[in-house]
Amino acid sequence: MMMYDDILQAVIGMAESAAGVKILVGSMPPDDGIAMTGNGYNQDVYLDIGTDERINVVCNAKSTNQRQVIQWLDAIHSSLTRRKDWPAGDNWQVYDIRTVASPHLIGREDNSQWLYGSSLVVRVNVGGINQ
């Protein structure tokens, strides 16, 4: 559904501003980069205010500079979980982002790239608040 793509792109835009690096859509980041992907599901349905939905967003980053990877993901989590202004689109409004899994080491590739991962949950109101 197009709405989920729009929401993921909005989250990626906020994350790019926080980390200062281009973020690709997908599960595996390029060398010295970050990738994000997500999936959504309904949490609650309210007849008067629409649905309260969640999108789980996985953030994977890798670089030969281990400190850089940690700084990127820390900046994303710190910025997004403390925001007060949220993106909105046609029929949806992000209203909260929380850390599900803090940045952690996944492994090290043969080419000396450190691979770290983390995840966020994005809470979205669909079809109610902006109507």
Give domain 2-126's CATH number out of 3.40.50.300, 3.40.50.970, 1.10.260.40, 3.30.2000.30: 3.30.2000.30
Q: Residue 97: its pLDDT value, please?
A: 97
Q: Residue 130: its pLDDT value, please?
A: 44
Q: Where are the domains of the chain?
A: 2-126
Please state, as a whole number, how many other Cβ atoms lie within 10 Å of the Cβ of residue 44: 10
Residues 6+ apart with CB under 8 A from 39: 4, 55, 56
Q: Yes or no: say if 117 and 58 are a contact pair by the CB < 8 Å rule.
A: yes
Instruction: List the pLDDT tens digit at each of the 131 positions of the chain.
Output: 568 899 999 999 999 999 999 999 999 999 999 999 998 766 666 656 678 889 999 999 999 999 999 999 999 999 999 999 999 998 899 999 999 999 999 999 999 999 999 999 999 988 865 44
Q: Residue 76: its pLDDT value, please?
A: 98
Percent helix, strand, coil in the chain, to 5, is 25, 50, 25
Please state, as a whole number, how many other Cβ atoms lie within 10 Å of the Cβ of residue 105: 12
